[in-house]
Each structure stands twice: as structure tokens, then as C-alpha cells.
Structure 1
Amino acid sequence: MKRKLFTATIAGTIALSMAGIGPSAASAVGNGPGYGGNETINTSILTTYEEMVSFLKKQEDKQKHMELEVFGQSVKGRDLYLVKYLTNPNNPTILFLTQQHGNEALNTEGALEFIKHLGTGKMKGVLDGVNILIVPRLNPDGAAGDVNFPLDDYVASGSYNLTRYNANEVDLNRDHTARLQPETKAFHDNVLGVYDVDYMIDLHHQGSNSEREGELVSGSILYPTTPNVEADVLLKSKQLGAVIFNAIDSKGWGHLGKYNGGSAETISRNGIAVEYGIATLLFEMRGMADHNYEPYVLGQKSNGYLIKQTVTTMDAAVRAIADRSIENADISFWDTLAFQNGRLSE
């Protein structure tokens, strides 16, 4: 029977992540099991759109500083939500963007858990120094498999499949210049064009078989690489990356590489940095929840640790911005951080 509450959907996964901090679980992310046709990839464990909306509304009712805004609609008419913690207009603002690609689902699970954290004593005092904006799912149609093209060859089972594209079979992360899709148009018109954002982390997933220095990575990061980015924006982007790298790579379960990313400004990491002067960081977590290419899909035994990686990323970023320690972050690690390489499938 399908769960009715968000808590049943994600809390069990988070509990797994919290239980897996010790040495015995250190390989669960970087060396956790790939799919390989050896298990069932079950979409029913993920938070549905309806469950997400219910959770967000309940959190808004509970949390003093949280405000929920609908900033647009998807192709299929689903509301697009912005979670806002705007306590002081003079504070720097960070924006977190998840699930531009509908099959990259665990970052949304982590973002929802982080929203819950913001309403607890775990984050006491942090909101005094930073404003936070969160788009927890930019592509709800792709995440629901409610699209205008077939998904018959996708791996996941359960009640629905998840796809990279929106309902019109368009990659939203290649539409940040033309903005022909309602999701990207609303994001630019009603979020980036309205709020004064200083930092943005764009949370994605990549394939499951990338490695750095011979070890599978838990994810990869990259700053804007377009030559048109201003020097100050690039510096702040690299400082944001330093904060995240230090928070994740020091963990027994974390291992990050440098992402091999292009310079096209149709991509959010590049285009948003240039157009709005926002320091941007791409974070690509390991493995996808569904795909028609099996090596991209990760076995679900790693879900808990990847969700924890998202929560840790968001927590570290807001704390460093709130106490201004980000301004002194050492970016020299970027000079030696190795690009990840694809490991041949076994």
C-alpha cells in the first residue's frame, strides 16, 4: 500500500544514512553497488509530487521563518515551488536548485530533509546571517514520468518511471538562454529576476562509474567555466566549491572529483553566473534513479548516503555564508583536484 505521508517516504532512508557514518559504511557511496540488472529499482520509495507538496505545506505551517511560493507551472500544469527563508535583506542569499532532470531524484530527497532541519534547533542562529531559497523540484513532470514520449526502455519499476527531460522532451539545463520551456522561463522570470541571489548550488546526478585516482567518486563539482564570467564571481564560485569539498571529501563516505563540464551558457552553471553575477557551483552526485542506459543507474543501497551528502552540502554552504567564513575559503585545492574519469563497466 502506498504511503500517505512524506515521513514514511524519506525518514527511513535518512535513518539509514545516519546509521552509516562509521567505517563499515565508508564504501557505500563511492564503491556502493551499481545496478547491473541485479536488483529491482523501485520508484515507490521516492517522494511523489503530491507527497512533496503536502510536506512543504506542513513545514510552512510549522516553521516561523519559512514561506512557500508558487512561481510558475510545468508543461503539465504542476505548480513549481520556491521555499524561502528571507530574514534580513542585507544578508547574502544562497539558492539551491534540484531536479532540473527528473531522474536525478535524491537531491530533492536531501533538500526536503534539509528544509525539515531548518525548522529545528539544529540550525539555531544560522538564519540570522543568511537568506535561503530552495527550488526542490524544477521538473515535476519528468520526475513523475508524466511526459509526451514513451519511457518503455527505462530501468525502474514500480508505479512510474523518471526521465531527464520535461514533458516536451527538452533538457531544461540546456534552456537557460532561450527559455522556451515554462519551467525555465518561470525560474528566470520569477526567481532569478526577482530575488537578489549571491550564491547558487545546482544539484544534479551523474553516471555511477566515474572515479578519481582509481576510486569511484561519490560525486563531482565544478565552478563556471565560461570565459565571460567576471573574476569576482569566479572567485566566489571557487570558494563555494572549497566549502563543499572540505565538508564532503573529509568524510569516510565522501570522495569528490572535478567534473568535466563545458563552457556553454545555455547551462545554468555558466549562464546564470554571467547574466546575474551569481557565484554558481555544480554538484553531480553519483548515480541516477532511472535511465534507459543501465550503467547510469545506481543500486538503491547507496540512497541513504547520497541523501546525507546533499544535506551535508546544503548545511555546510549556509553555515559558511552565515558566519562569512566562506570569504576566507582556500581555493588552492582546485589546482590539484583531479578530473574524474569514467571507469569501464565490469
Structure 2
Amino acid sequence: MKCFSRTVVSVLLPCVLSGLVFPSVSLAKYDPTKDYQEIPAIVKQFPAPSLIELGTPAFDKDKTDFTSQQEMEKFINDLSKTSGTLRVKQIGLSQQGKSISLLVFSGSQTASPEVLLKNGKPTVLIIALQHGNEPAPGEAALAYAKSLAEGKEGDVLTRVNVLIMPRANPDGAESFSRDLANGINLNRDHLLLSTPESRAIAQVFIQYQPDVVLDSHEYSVAGRWVEKFGAVQRYDAMLQQATTNNLPARLTKMMDKPFREGIVSTFETNGLSHSWYYTTDKLDKQDKTLSMGGIEADTLRNIAGLRNSVSFLLENRGVGLGKAHFARRVYTQFLAMQTMVKVSAKNSADLLNNGQEIRHDIATQAGQGAIVVKGEMTPEKRTISMIDAKTADGIKVNADWRSALSIMPVITRTRPYAYLLAPTEKKAVQNLQALGIEVYQIVQPQKVKVQQYTLADRNESTKKDVTGSIGQKGNQMIQVTTRIDDRELDLSAGYYYIPLNQPLANLAIAALEPETQSSFVANGIISLPKVKTEKKKAKTKAKTQATNAEVALPVLPLYRLTERADISLVLVE
């Protein structure tokens, strides 16, 4: 099976999203009385940009809060009426029934993914407001859309297509809450796809296959930083590309240059300070370790990388500040969006060629070499700059640092040719298809040599990220330990076959290898049998002694095919 081309894949979602019922959590509106108040000497260090007119709803005269859903929809609809390059699509509904909009900019004046995939141009996807209490990226997305619609971005649309999702979490944005309406952190749901919002984003990836992705956020300025260091954060922007297991080296190289290099240059030219992205534990007030963004395959940044896109997270200085420095925050994001598109336009031929070669290379690696199932960040030391919260003096912090740029393997395995799922695992198959992964079904019974996952241990656990917590809800999981055993398997008709000679092979690996906290096994998408042991007493002629004998351990309904096999298959539609 070969599938290296940029083709449109239609996927039937495993459930009708509009019919789902999600438990709600308590939501509150934006309350300016809860904003952190910087001392005047700190405020002076972040002047507003000069000679810039952003022209979006949050900058209307006398407006004290942020752009509402209604204001945003009117703004983008007005843009579409006057622009020949913009088409607006509703790609889904939030849990509370709000529209999730996608702005499609194309010189061919169409929003059709079939047309865009064949117009010889790479596609850039900009996503904002995954977290509803981070308004600056959403406003920057509107400002950049306005600039594109008004023809102020030069000839970029002759060389690239641009997709903008200004509000990925409409419910959270409307209530000024970080998480989705049901309490799940959207930016940890891009592998499991448990919410309509994450599924809408996945459909954009499947249909348009973006070559470049920018995920825009804001980061906390005070709070735990003041508690731990007596200081506030000072960097205008923090940047990090995709950093997860099994990313192609060619992709990582391209993310570093020209993309990261281009964004950093833009910031420095415009007098904006910048750093690698980092954060610290929210729960442990004594832990001063700084960690880069995580290496789990759950965030948009990392999942986009596993989809073979150049992928970046950009966080500007903003959470907790309300509307303080808002123009500077929005302008920081605007410049990054503008730069990502310009760099993509300048390197459009390389983007397309490299993307084609990366997808080809991944597909041809099936059954060869090794994969990293689980890894850890590398401990280092790093000095960062902060601002004393009481004096406004600059301070240097020499901190323990966990780097995501170098991942230390913890569990490695051979790369299989394919995975096999038992006929009972229809839910897992539906989730794989929702990710855009091709799944086949076996039509003729036969015996094959496989590796089985013998379940050695399982424990109820809680998912955590580098901050110590993820979202209000959806954090329960089962941590498993498995042993790989060789065996012959009687394949009956109906078994599912997930080949790794497809471009999304590394995404399939992230979903199916059981040991990570985001895997389908850990999250109950693949059936999980229980571990049972019993004690038996044995007698010998010499003496009686107690011995522990382990009953045959249960096996996961998931297998690895490590040798080529001639199997009759049909694509699961």
C-alpha cells in the first residue's frame, strides 16, 4: 500500500457530535478586579507599539472587556463581504452550540480543500484561543485576517494558502475560562479527540493537510512566579517547535531553520524579548525547576508534528494581566503570524518538496529500525531573566531546566510493519479514523507470527503535564506495564490491520503503544483486561515451602506484526 500524496480523506466521525451530552463545569465571565496589578515601574518596561492600527473589536473606544462571539462573527463576515480572497467556513459547533469558524484565504477564491491541495501551494494553519482566558492570540488572528483581506500582506497568497481559526474554544472565550465547557483542556485532547472542538480541528488537518502550523497562546506572568521567585515574567514571547518521540529529523531541521530563525529575527528587529518556552509546577510551591513544553503526544504542537507539519507553539506575556499591554501582546502575536506566512511563502517549493519526501520516508520505514515509545526530558541548567515584582529591577535566575530539545529514551521497541486489533475494538478503529489514519480489515482467516502485549501491571493514575496538572476534568487514566512476547496468532476475518507504510505512521504509534498517558490503552479506548495473580503452595520431599506461582497474565487485544505477511485486506470506510 502506498499513500504518499496530498489527497483528501473523508472520515466518518464515530459519533454525531451535536447529539453528545457533556457534563458542564462552573464558568465565570471576565472579572477585571482579579487582574494582577504590576507596579508602575514594570508597566513602563512594556510600552505599546507605535504607529500600528489593529482595528479589531477589542480595541473599540471605551471597550473594557474582550471580543465577544457575536462581535467576532460579525467582524469576519464583514471581512468576507469585501474580500475576494476570503471564504468563511463553519467547521463545527462547541459544546454549548457556538460556531467554530475557519477563515480560508486563497488566491483561487475557494475554500475547497480539494482545490487547495492541488493548487501547488503549501498551506499555513494559524489556531488561536484553545484556552479561553488567553485573548491576545485570538485578537491577533482577527487583525492578521483583516490585513490579508485588505490586501496589505503583499503577494503571499500567490505562493501559500492561509487558514485561520481565531477561536478554537468559543465557550471558554465567552466565559473567559481556560478549559472547554466540560472542563477538559482542549490542548491535551488532540490524540484522544474526546470533544467536538478537538474533532473539528482534526477534520481541518485531514481535509487541508497543512504544511505549517502556529498554535498561539498566552502565558502566566505572576502567580506562582511571584510566589517562587519574587518576580514576574519578562519575555514578550516564548517559542517552541514540536518536540515529541519519533519526529523525522528532516522536519526538526526545517522547523529550526528557516522558521524559528525567522520568528526570532522578527522579534529582535521589533524590540521584543523572547525565549524558549518554559513553565513551572503549579502545585508544588517549593519546586523551582523550569520545564520546556512537554514531549507527550497530546498537544496540538506535537500532534501537528506527528502529522508531518512544521509546527510551533507561541506564547506571549499575558495571562493574568487583563487588558494591560494588550496592544503589545496582540502585536507580538500578529508579527509571529505574519512571519510564519512570509517564511512559508519564501520557502514554498522547499516546503512542498520536503513534505513529500518526509511522508515517503515515513511510509517506507515500516518494519525497520526502532521507535521510542516513552521518553524523558534532559536535565540541564539555564539562566533566565525576570523582573523583581517589588523593585522592577532585572534579575537573573540560574535554574534547573528540563529540556525537550533532547529526549532520553525510556522504552524503545522495533518498528512493526503493522498493528493488529481484535474485532472487538471498534471504538479504537473509529478513533484512528477520526485522526485520519487508514485502517483495514482482514477478510480471510490465517495464522501469522506476532508480538503480543502481555499485561504485567496496571494502576489507576492521573495524567499530568510539566505544570503538574492538565485540566479541570478528563485526567483519569490507567498506567500499564506490558511485556512483549512472540506467538502465533489465529487471525479470524474481522481483525483490524493498521499498516505503518502510511504517512501518519508515527501518529498511529503514539496512539497504540500502551505505556504513555495519552495512549488508547491508558484511556480506555482499547479494552483493558485485569491482572490476576494467586498464591499456590507446593510440597517437596525434603520440606514444605510457600511459593508464588503466577497465573497466565492477560493479553491486550492489540498485536504487533513484525514480519511481512501476505494478508487479504479491505479498507474500512
SS in structure 2 at match of 1:287: strand
Aligned twin of 1:177: 191
Structure 1 residue 308 and structure 2 residue 340: aligned? no
Matched residue type, 2:235: V
In the TM superposition, residue 340 of structure 1 has moved relative to its aligned partner by 4.8
Pick from 269, 273, 280 the counterpart of residue 301 of structure 2.
269
SS in structure 2 at match of 1:163: coil
8 A Cα contact 2:95 2:171, kept in partner: yes
Matching of residues 163-242 of structure 1 within 5 Å: 163-188=177-202, 190-209=203-222, 216-239=234-257, 240-242=259-261
In the TM superposition, residue 327 of structure 1 has moved relative to its aligned partner by 6.1
Matched residue type, 1:203: S
In the TM superposition, residue 339 of structure 1 has moved relative to its aligned partner by 7.1
SS in structure 2 at match of 1:306: helix
In the TM superposition, residue 299 of structure 1 has moved relative to its aligned partner by 5.1
In the TM superposition, residue 198 of structure 1 has moved relative to its aligned partner by 0.5
For residues 168 and 134 of structure 1, do their structure 2 counterparts lie closer, same or farther at Cα, with a shift above 3 Å needed? same
In proportion to residue count, which structure has more strand? 2
C-alpha distance after superposition, 1:226-252 (max 9, x if no partner): 121111221222232221111112322
In the TM superposition, residue 91 of structure 1 has moved relative to its aligned partner by 0.8
8 A Cα contact 1:29 1:217, kept in partner: no
Matched residue type, 1:247: T
8 A Cα contact 1:224 1:269, kept in partner: yes
SS in structure 2 at match of 1:96: strand
Structure 1 residue 132 and structure 2 residue 146: aligned? no
**Separation in 1, partners of 2:122, 2:77:** 25
8 A Cα contact 1:199 1:237, kept in partner: no
For residues 59 and 25 of structure 1, do their structure 2 counterparts lie closer, same or farther at Cα, with a shift above 3 Å needed? farther
Structure 1 residue 246 and structure 2 residue 265: aligned? yes
For residues 299 and 184 of structure 1, do their structure 2 counterparts lie closer, same or farther at Cα, with a shift above 3 Å needed? closer
Q: Which runs of 5+ in 2 are unaligned?
A: 1-42, 50-61, 108-115, 278-291, 352-381, 391-573
**Separation in 2, partners of 1:198, 1:182:** 23
SS in structure 2 at match of 1:193: helix
**Separation in 2, partners of 1:312, 1:230:** 28
For residues 258 and 229 of structure 1, do their structure 2 counterparts lie closer, same or farther at Cα, with a shift above 3 Å needed? same
Structure 1 residue 48 and structure 2 residue 68: aligned? yes
In proportion to residue count, which structure has more helix? 1
**Separation in 1, partners of 2:45, 2:159:** 33
Aligned twin of 1:143: 173
For residues 80 and 343 of structure 1, do their structure 2 counterparts lie closer, same or farther at Cα, with a shift above 3 Å needed? same
For residues 129 and 49 of structure 1, do their structure 2 counterparts lie closer, same or farther at Cα, with a shift above 3 Å needed? same
Superposition RMSD in Å: 2.7
8 A Cα contact 1:243 1:326, kept in partner: no
Aligned twin of 2:152: 122
8 A Cα contact 1:320 1:326, kept in partner: no
8 A Cα contact 1:71 1:186, kept in partner: yes
Higher RCO, 1 vs 2 (CA within 8 Å, ≥6 residues apart): 1
SS in structure 1 at match of 2:124: strand
**Separation in 1, partners of 2:180, 2:233:** 33
Matching of residues 277-296 of structure 1 within 5 Å: 277-288=308-319
SS in structure 2 at match of 1:176: coil
Structure 1 residue 61 and structure 2 residue 81: aligned? yes
Q: Which runs of 5+ in 1 are unaligned?
A: 1-23, 31-41, 146-161, 289-296, 329-337
Aligned twin of 2:557: none
Aligned twin of 1:71: 91
Matched residue type, 1:196: Q
TM-score for both structures, normalised by structure 2? 0.45
In the TM superposition, residue 119 of structure 1 has moved relative to its aligned partner by 2.0
For residues 326 and 236 of structure 1, do their structure 2 counterparts lie closer, same or farther at Cα, with a shift above 3 Å needed? farther
Matched residue type, 2:317: R
How many residue pairs are counted as aligned between the two chains? 274
**Separation in 2, partners of 1:273, 1:103:** 25
8 A Cα contact 2:133 2:172, kept in partner: yes
Matched residue type, 1:287: G
TM-score for both structures, normalised by structure 1? 0.73
Q: Percent identity?
A: 27
Structure 1 residue 321 and structure 2 residue 344: aligned? yes
**Separation in 1, partners of 2:174, 2:204:** 23
SS in structure 2 at match of 1:282: strand
**Separation in 1, partners of 2:262, 2:164:** 19
For residues 179 and 345 of structure 1, do their structure 2 counterparts lie closer, same or farther at Cα, with a shift above 3 Å needed? farther
C-alpha distance after superposition, 1:64-93 (max 9, x if no partner): 010100111100011110000133621111
SS in structure 1 at match of 2:208: coil
SS in structure 2 at match of 1:187: helix
